[in-house]
Amino acid sequence: MLHKTVQCRELGLMAYTEAWDLQEALFAETIATKVQNRRTGTEHPTTNHLLFVAHPHVYTLGKSGDQQHLLIDQEKLAEIGAEFHKINRGGDITYHGPGQIVGYPILDLENFFTDIHKYLRLLEEMIILTLADYGIKSERSKGETGVWLDVGTPFARKICAMGVRASRWVTMHGFALNVNTDLGYFDHMIPCGIRGKSVTSLRVELGRDHVPVDEVKERLKVHFARLFEAELVPYNKEI
């Protein structure tokens, strides 16, 4: 029987490395349970997690990325109050900062389906449906993971970046949706290593001074639960 309950945790503003350590711990715990089950023939259920967080200004580079896509040095990083980390997800360089919704699903995909491409497409669909709730038409761009606006035009711009890692069908890392993000920080990088395309935010697209982040997050949860046919429950460390 598939275990489709997902524990949802709100982490608030948290340093990137602290959230990464938490992800790694949950990821390792899930894999350890699966290994133990296969070794002993037991069926202890794995726990699925969805972490919501915002980070202080930070640039992260995926394992296949090019560090030259970060356009500033350590001195400039310090000046703008940002950090830089090389990490173990797929993808190139991205930025995280206040006003952005970052979601880290740590899921055992064997509880859902064993198809990493379907997993990525469902995450993208969750974003597309959420933006549609605000009257914004967004879409995928062929060969470029994430969610975009005006694909195929000179005005193509990215509103949500994605990068994941998976091992033994367990996922980590995830998505970053620009809501009220200071887009000036993207000027210091080549977003996702893609030249000639810009980035945007929900606030900019709606022409508002501020978009309630918690409101957007609730829409994301609704669409996540429906697409993954899952029940989102509050975090319970006893489970």
Category of 12 on φ-ψ map: left (φ > 0), alpha (ψ -120 to 50) or beta: left
Residue whose tokens read 């899952």: 230
Secondary structure element (H or E) that encloses residue 129, with its range: helix 116-133
Q: Looking at the annotation, which residues are catalytic?
A: 192
Q: Within 13 Å and on the Cβ side, how many CA atoms surround 165? A: 15
Cβ atoms of residues 145 and 162 within 8 Å: yes
- Check if the beta carbon of residue 100 is closer than 8 Å to that of residue 183: no
Packing angle of the helix pair 116-133, 213-227 (nearest 10 deg):
140
